[in-house]
Amino acid sequence: IKAAGDLTNGESAPPQLSELKENLVDSLRELDHRFVITIDDVDRLEPTEVIEILRLVRSVVDLPNVIYILCYDSEILAQSIERAAGVRSGKAYLEKIVQLTAMVPQPEPLQLRQWFSEELHQIASVKNEDELSRLQLVIDHEGGRQLQTPRAVIRALDAIRFFWPPLREIQADLADLVWLQLIKDGNPALYRWIEAYCATFSAV
């Protein structure tokens, strides 16, 4: 950027923000190259952080050859905007910034379970058809309730990758691990009850 070098040449007054932006616009046009900036999981930020990101994007959205892609859950993001900005409609606020919205279709629950099952078989293997049948029953039953999003699938798989190697050494049951992990991710209160029950049963 042209103005960036001017800061070190002994000038008493730094360039104004408007001047810096003009120089940046000229430089981007001279490059004749398109930039795509992706900001993922915007809806997972704190409400005040959401507003900061949106204001930042709005301030630079008119830069030439720059495209911004924001990834978020519109319902959650609208609620964050309403809390942080004190507006009646977070969706209306968002529409003033986002020029084009592309709705990503939600994957079918069956697809999520199939994906989970395929990845799980890359992590661990079962000994016989009976264990395979029981494992699939767990995936269909508990997975049907807990594996509602791709994020839930990835989270469960990451946990199993971590816990299974040492448990495999003591010949633990894979289906039990999967079942407990799915409960732990989807219903922590029930998991804590199971944990307390098993500890009490073992002590007795």
- pLDDT of 38 > 90? The answer is yes
Cα distances (Å, whole numbers) of residue 108 to 46, 113, 147, 155, 183: 29, 9, 10, 18, 20
pTM value?
A: 0.63
- The fraction of the chain above a pLDDT of 90, given in percent, is 55
**pLDDT (0 to 100) of residue 32:** 79
Q: What is the b/e burial string over 185-203, where b = at least 16 CB atoms within 10 angstroms of the residue's CB? A: bbeeeebeeeeeeeeeeee
- pLDDT of 8 > 60? The answer is no
Could you tell me which of 194, 188, 193, 196 has the C-alpha nearest to residue 176? 194
**pLDDT (0 to 100) of residue 1:** 45
Alpha-carbon Rg of the chain, whole angstroms? 26
pLDDT greater at residue 194 or residue 126 = 194
- pLDDT of 194 > 90? The answer is yes
- pLDDT of 142 > 70? The answer is yes
- Are 167 and 149 a contacting pair, CB within 8 Å? no
- pLDDT of 170 > 80? The answer is yes
Distance between CA atoms of residues 60 and 75, nearest Å: 25
**pLDDT (0 to 100) of residue 9:** 55
Q: How confident is the model at residue 105 (pLDDT cuts 50, 70, 90)?
A: confident
- pLDDT of 28 > 60? The answer is yes
- pLDDT of 138 > 60? The answer is yes
- Are 88 and 82 a contacting pair, CB within 8 Å? yes
Whole-number average pLDDT of the chain: 88
Q: What is the end-to-end Cα distance of the chain in Å, rounded?
A: 73
Distance between CA atoms of residues 182 and 179, nearest Å: 5
What is the arithmetic mean of pLDDT over 68-90?
91
- Are 90 and 47 a contacting pair, CB within 8 Å? no
Per-residue DSSP letter, 44: G
What is the arithmetic mean of pLDDT over 36-63?
90
